[in-house]
Structure 1
């Protein structure tokens, strides 16, 4: 009888340890998704009155938790360069500017963020204006108004609400390097949506796994309690 009880206790211990170990996977995966990758390269194209392409390159910064962001913006054949250093986990600049520009926080909040337009760099509020939807993915929509001399612009971005990935963006401008209405191209939107879908699928799988392992752990503890009560 004692041997049976010991075996049950060992089985329960193994099951509980396995559940605990599985639950440790989620923070690791989420941390990897949250951090800005480096090295990495991204290219986004925009539809508008003139060709507009943004190429961003991420490299390791001077400190372990920093990322150097370098951007090359091509507008109607004219090149503009931009660079700053960001915190890898939060995407917020740590120096060189006052607001977010090309990348946004993981799990963005429904609030205002400081934003620096690449053609102004002065930080302005990027306000949360409501929920949105891009290709079936729920988004948070943000808007920023920029006025810097003759340059006036409105930026509107749709961020996937769990990963912070930009799924759509418009840029309406007068003055500055170009004038008119620009929108993230169909190809760039589709690429961003595909990437976001895979990231969201991983998060959902981790959520289901967490519930399953907790349920199994509760059943195991209940089984163990009943087994000892019957001794």
Structure 2
């Protein structure tokens, strides 16, 4: 069987997939693209017409959603401890928080980033800041879930932690950390101290540096 190929940009949502692969011990061919690839790597559009990252190509299968890719990596060759199987305790919560991570938490972050950081000249900063407040308010579900818990589900580290954890990592890097509760900052610190996270970050940074002036 061929090795799955992951196309991504360093520190983008694709970090969820790179991190999951490191945690699960799954070999992937990591292809780091310059950001944004639809402008700086237009040939990528022939592979992914959306022009977005990440993209996982595994044989005839193509996945473009970071949380789905992380779950796929953890389960495609059989369930690993990184995923929770049907019938196992906290299976419903695992599904819920894995989807919640992008649909509810990361979404308002991307709106904030677009209008406050990337497209300042369009006069939509007020909307961006409103979505920043939305992001902070939506953290309550994760905050309450982690009361008395180290991880979100089944008393172990899973893809749900990777997906939610990335949103907290992103918050710190784009200037949204002031509204993040201390308990979630502590949770983030536990996650980012994991050796697999550090390896994933190093792999992506090495790929970014290899791009030279395009990075």
TM-score (norm 1): 0.29
More strand by share: 1
More helix by share: 2
Q: Which has the higher contact order (CA 8 A, sep 6+)?
A: 2
Higher Cα Rg, which structure = 1
